[in-house]
Amino acid sequence: MSALLEVRGLVTDIGAARVVDGVSFDVAAGETYALLGESGCGKSMTALSLMRLLPDGGRVTSGTVGLDGENLLALPERAMRTVRGGRMAMIFQEPMLALNPVIKVGEQIGEALALHQSLSGAAARDAARALLDAVGVPDAARRLDAYPFELSGGLRQRAMIAIALAGKPQLLIADEPTTALDVTIQAQVLEVLRNLKAERRMGMLLITHDLGVVAENADRVGVMYAGELLEEGTREAFFAAPQHPYSRMLFDALPRPGDGGRLTTIPGQVPQLDGALAGCRFEPRCPHAVARCRVESPDWQTLGGQRVRCHLAGQLPAQPSRAAAARAMATQAAQPLLQVDGLKVHFPVRRGLLQRTVGHVRAVDDVSLAIEAGRTLALVGESGCGKTTVGKALLRLTEPTAGSVVLDGEAVTARNLAALRRQLQMVFQDPFSSLNPRMRVADILLEGMDALGVGAAGQRRAAVARLLQQVGLPDDAGGRYPHAFSGGQRQRIAIARALAVSPRLVICDEPTSALDVSVQAQILNLLKDLQDALGLAYLFITHNLAVVEYLAHQLAVMYLGRIVEHGPAAEVLRAPRHPYTQALVSAVPRIEPHAGGTVIRLAGDQPSPLNPPDGCHFHPRCPHAGEICRRTYPDRTELGDGHWVRCHWVAGQV
């Protein structure tokens, strides 16, 4: 039986750059084909080429794209308008950019229904509500009249899926559909896609850089690098024994449970595609390259159930397993560097002509934690639980409502904040937004040093050069602007800026959330090296539990402004006790099968901190909730070795 989608020799140019070069693959009905690779490898451009939605200056110069036997590249643009959204639909990476912010969700779904199913009026509204129900949007009738900004990230992504499904497509292209989503929301979105694919027998092209997502959702895998496919095979064969050096290095760059060893990084970057590339394109970064690799582009070879483009295919040494021993944990008691007690951040809600306060958003509601010098505390939870607000409140970038913050035995107050801020710095989630685009890197690093009077004025330029070297940036980086760097390099600049004033504690707010796995490995190695060399303490705010397993000593789990479980990271992740923590851990996509079996799916979304539920805040979503959970917020239940949890069920009261 012929494939639903047949791509043969696809070549796409954007100006002088050949961003897709001779790509061929098939997708069958009911099958998920995953395109895997770093940013800049051509994955999204391949998808846009299939849809004929290339940016200005882009054109498909050769090849064929067959959909159910019809060559889409030969169709006139008028005919393509019925194919897009009808026979072939796409879920874009960022729903807030893809959805129109000034048109209600129901109207946007209705546009697709009118175009591809000729529905209007009440029939279109009923169909739109049915689509939102199908993708798991709660209270679908009310959401039809909501604007995109009124929905959470997970609900916006589901609305995007509903629009894509409105035309009943044969093929669905999902471009990084879960990037930067919380692990629980990611699990829900992927489950929706799997169920819909099975019900409708759709083919799916899944574009991602997340090996865990590929392992749990793909039937076949294609690894892409610098515009070319390098390896292709079934999911089982690929994850059992990746054959290309690039594929192996992607696996080695992943943080693994209990692995305290240094992560493998891929040196260099994806090459620029606007010039002639001789030989194997991965050769400059390949540890196994030989002279032949520099001059001759490899052909496809078949090894078992896989195809691979590598001169050394089948000759590579067996992959060494990384150290499985966990890092030694310090047992002696130490004085905390940072002690936080009863921290609250409540934002007033004002309405009316006189702007009277009618309520409070309880973003952080009675948080206590401690961090020792040279140690890492990870703060995890879904978006909106208050993690970032905690970090900003410690620096008083957001003014706390109540509570105390003590740094090295001295209370942090408005009067001594300037002196203590030198010891407490922050690395923000998006380095491009936090770096001044009009300042050169050297000036960005000098700004904090000048403001806080760090060192003698004549020594600061030399300190900048040492900082750049310390974080692994080239010598000439100081004279360049932020836009001249890659995402990973900009994050290194942000880390250097934080280190410029010699802090003792660094708050890292999702510093690797949008990075490729290879770049993430570089940043994690850097943070670990800096901690070992400088004795830094970290408050690491994240929703990526794989990163927590690698980097953190202690773990605190937040839900709706409060910490619900706290303890040694290895212990909490190995044996989580709170139902919310159990759901978070079970929802992490892994390349190895889940040891515990079933994945826990949380019902509904996190309640609003403006009106939290009575009793235990988690009870509306908890499978173990009893009457006491609806009436009373639980006290701490000590589990030993610093591990505690707030849960009536764990305490045996349910």
Residue type, 321: S
Predicted local distance difference test score (pLDDT) of residue 475: 80
Three-state DSSP class for residue 547: helix
- Cα(24)–Cα(43) distance, integer angstroms: 13
Predicted local distance difference test score (pLDDT) of residue 330: 32
- Cα(404)–Cα(343) distance, integer angstroms: 6
| Tokens matching residue 65 | 């794209």
Task: List 6's β-bridge partners, or say none.
Answer: 26, 66
Q: What are the pLDDT digits (tens) for 232-281?
A: 999 999 998 899 999 999 988 887 655 556 777 888 888 888 777 889 99
- Cα(520)–Cα(212) distance, integer angstroms: 15
Predicted local distance difference test score (pLDDT) of residue 234: 94
CB 373, CB 334: distance < 8 Å: yes
Predicted local distance difference test score (pLDDT) of residue 331: 35
Predicted local distance difference test score (pLDDT) of residue 261: 63
Predicted local distance difference test score (pLDDT) of residue 1: 47
Q: What are the pLDDT digits (tens) for 55-101?
A: 999 999 999 999 999 999 999 999 998 899 999 999 987 777 889 99
CA-wise closest residue to 230 among 200, 212, 252, 250: 250
CB neighbour list of residue 529: distance below 8 Å, 6 or more residues apart = none
Q: What are the pLDDT digits (tens) for 329-386?
A: 333 335 789 999 999 999 999 988 888 988 899 999 999 999 999 999 999 998 888 9
Predicted local distance difference test score (pLDDT) of residue 35: 95
Cα pseudo-dihedral 452, 458, 461, 464, rounded to 10: -50
Predicted local distance difference test score (pLDDT) of residue 323: 37
Residue 597: pLDDT band (50, 70, 90) is: low
- Cα(641)–Cα(635) distance, integer angstroms: 18
- Cα(200)–Cα(196) distance, integer angstroms: 6
Three-state DSSP class for residue 269: coil
Phi, psi of 363 (to 5 degrees): -65, -40
Predicted local distance difference test score (pLDDT) of residue 577: 96
Predicted local distance difference test score (pLDDT) of residue 322: 42
CB neighbour list of residue 320: distance below 8 Å, 6 or more residues apart = none
**pLDDT of residue 327 exceeding 60:** no
CB atoms within 10 A of CB 35: 26
| Tokens matching residue 637 | 């239940």
Q: Which runs of consecutive H residues, i.e. helices, occur in 69-134?
A: 77-83, 95-98, 105-117, 121-134
Distance of CA 505 to the CA centre of its chain: 24
The residue behind tokens 């609806």 is 630
* 554-559 and 562-568 strand pairing: antiparallel
Mean pLDDT over all residues of the chain? 88
Predicted local distance difference test score (pLDDT) of residue 469: 86
Residue type, 348: P
Residue 163: pLDDT band (50, 70, 90) is: very high
645 vs 473, residue with greater confidence: 645
CB neighbour list of residue 25: distance below 8 Å, 6 or more residues apart = 7, 33, 222, 229, 232
CA-wise closest residue to 512 among 49, 107, 180: 180
- Cα(499)–Cα(296) distance, integer angstroms: 45
Rounded average pLDDT over 395-419: 89
Predicted local distance difference test score (pLDDT) of residue 66: 96
Predicted local distance difference test score (pLDDT) of residue 103: 96
Rounded average pLDDT over 591-607: 70
Q: Cite the beta strand spans of 28-163 per DSSP E.
A: 32-36, 58-67, 70-71, 88-91
Predicted local distance difference test score (pLDDT) of residue 332: 37
Phi, psi of 640 (to 5 degrees): 95, 150
Predicted local distance difference test score (pLDDT) of residue 651: 92
DSSP state of 386: S
**pLDDT of residue 110 exceeding 50:** yes
Rounded average pLDDT over 23-30: 95
CB neighbour list of residue 504: distance below 8 Å, 6 or more residues apart = 337, 373, 407, 408, 423, 424, 535, 536, 537
Task: List 171's β-bridge partners, or say none.
Answer: 88, 203
Rounded average pLDDT over 580-585: 93
In SS3 terms, 106-118 reads as HHHHHHHHHHHHC
Q: Cite the beta strand spans of 489-583 per DSSP E.
A: 505-509, 537-542, 554-559, 562-568
Where residue 537 falls (left for φ over 0; alpha for ψ -120 to 50; beta otherwise) is beta
* 402-407 and 376-380 strand pairing: unpaired
**Burial group, residue 479, by CB count within 10 angstroms (0-12, 13-18, 19+):** exposed
Phi, psi of 302 (to 5 degrees): -110, 125
Residue 431: pLDDT band (50, 70, 90) is: confident
Predicted local distance difference test score (pLDDT) of residue 326: 32
Q: Which runs of consecutive H residues, i.e. helices, occur in 241-380?
A: 245-252, 291-295
**pLDDT of residue 105 exceeding 80:** yes
Q: Tell me which range, 46-55, 409-418, 479-488, 604-613, is most confidently predicted by mean pLDDT.
A: 46-55
Rounded average pLDDT over 415-425: 85
Rounded average pLDDT over 602-621: 88
| Tokens matching residue 109 | 């779904």
Q: What are the pLDDT digits (tens) for 506-548?
A: 999 988 876 788 888 888 888 998 998 889 999 999 988 888 8
Q: Cite the beta strand spans of 554-595 per DSSP E.
A: 554-559, 562-568
Burial track 368-397 (b if 16+ CB lie within 10 A, e otherwise): ebbbbebbbbbbbbbbbbbbbbbbbbbbbe
Three-state DSSP class for residue 210: coil
Rounded average pLDDT over 620-625: 93
HSE (CB half, 13 Å, CA atoms) of 377?
Answer: 28
CA-wise closest residue to 377 among 503, 521, 498, 507: 507
Predicted local distance difference test score (pLDDT) of residue 333: 39
